[in-house]
């Protein structure tokens, strides 16, 4: 999962290729909420994933992080991924998840 300045993307990697879907939205809080809603209600695979990487794809996102996103939104984003064994948080995201927890 990657946060960009005007979108959030989710990429599933398979042995034969990958599938990428995203949500176009300029506000980081809406990106987080929209992806949480998509993964939680529309898709059935999140609970089967074993590894999830969440990172910042654009330096501009760091400015949006400083504006703040409610702690509950960060937790909502992880909620559908109940089977995770490995969570990788990119530089700049660790403190926001730590505060949320």
**In the CATH scheme, what is the code of domain 2-100?**
3.30.420
pLDDT in tens, 52-90: 888 887 766 655 565 556 667 778 888 888 888 898 988
Instruction: Compute the Cα dihedral for 96, 71, 28, 20 and give only its sign.
Output: positive
Instruction: Give how far Cα 68 sits from Cα of 29, 41, 62, 96, Å.
Output: 8, 25, 10, 9
pTM: 0.72
For residue 24, give the 3-state DSSP assignment: strand
**Residue ranges per domain, the chain?**
2-100
pLDDT digits (tens, 9 = 90+) for 36-58: 888 877 666 677 788 888 888 77
Question: What are the distances in angstroms from CA 65 to CA 5, 16, 62, 73, 94?
Answer: 11, 35, 5, 12, 11
């Amino acid at each position: 999962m990657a946060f960009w300045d005007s979108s959030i993307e989710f990429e599933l990697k398979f042995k034969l290729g990958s599938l990428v879907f995203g949500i176009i939205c300029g506000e980081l809080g809406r990106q987080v909420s929209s992806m949480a809603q998509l993964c939680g209600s529309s898709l059935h695979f999140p609970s089967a994933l074993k590894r999830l990487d969440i990172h910042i794809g654009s330096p501009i996102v760091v400015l949006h992080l400083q504006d703040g996103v409610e702690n509950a939104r960060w937790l909502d984003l992880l909620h559908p991924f109940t089977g995770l064994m490995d969570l990788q948080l990119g530089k700049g995201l660790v403190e926001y998840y730590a505060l949320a927890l």
